[in-house]
Structure 1
């Protein structure tokens, strides 16, 4: 194999990556506009920062990740996937806090709904890594064949 990356993205990976990119861009815009208060409700009280600042800053990050998921080419795409996965891990304490404090936001108005939501974060982490080729048969974190 030459120095040029020759890993081929599958259709499923492409669709997952594009869906994540669109979702992240939409969520980032929501941080700054129509669901800003819901996102503020998710910022844990133990975080020593202004909740609105956290929401706006994470909105900028989410828009950036969304655009990067849509537009970045390999091999940089793997890095974007790893960074997005790390972002999903970093914001997970907000989801846990929402569950523990019984804070209603985004229609998550019961303990059961808030609890079930916790199981979607690992799915997002895996989707970010897999759809960008960061994990899998030829991913940076997986074994290389050839």
Structure 2
């Protein structure tokens, strides 16, 4: 059973890496303006700069999750922190009623908020970052 759980964690970690790589490419490419819509107006930096930097972080985290499994615990914690740090943008999108990525109703924007804790849990579980053991 332990081997099966480890296999599920590995598949989950690789899938999260793929999701982060895809999101990072979106930040730097065709979805750049939609990502800019999620940057809160009160944030003290250029929306474009925030999108570019966060996209670079996503590309780095995604690559690390896939290519450096020996560092998975630290990368998992870093990904969880990243997901927590971008959460205010999701809240801002709801509060300001900003439409992006098909989130064009308050209900859709509110439901999206529920996914951020799941991303954090995914990062921690798939990399065993919530535990203090080496695997």
Q: How does 1:7-22 map to 2 (within 5 A)?
A: 10-22=6-18
Shift, 1:73, TM fit: 2.3
What residue ranges of structure 2 are gaps of 5+ in the alignment? Answer: none
The higher relative CO (CA closer than 8 Å, separation ≥ 6) is in 2
Max Rg structure = 1
Partner of 1:55: 51
User: TM-score, with normalisation over the residues of structure 1?
Assistant: 0.86
How many pairs align? 131
**Secondary structure at 2:69 match in 1:** coil
Please list the CA deviations of residues 61-105 of structure 1 after superposition, one character each: whole Å capped at 9, or x if unmatched. Answer: 00000000101123x210000010000000000000000000000
* Moved beyond 4 Å, runs of 4+: none
- Return the structure number with greater helix share: 2
Aligned residues: CA RMSD: 1.4
Structure 1 gaps, min length 5: 1-6
Partners of 1:102 and 1:77 lie apart in 2 by 36
Deviation (angstroms), 1:126: 0.4
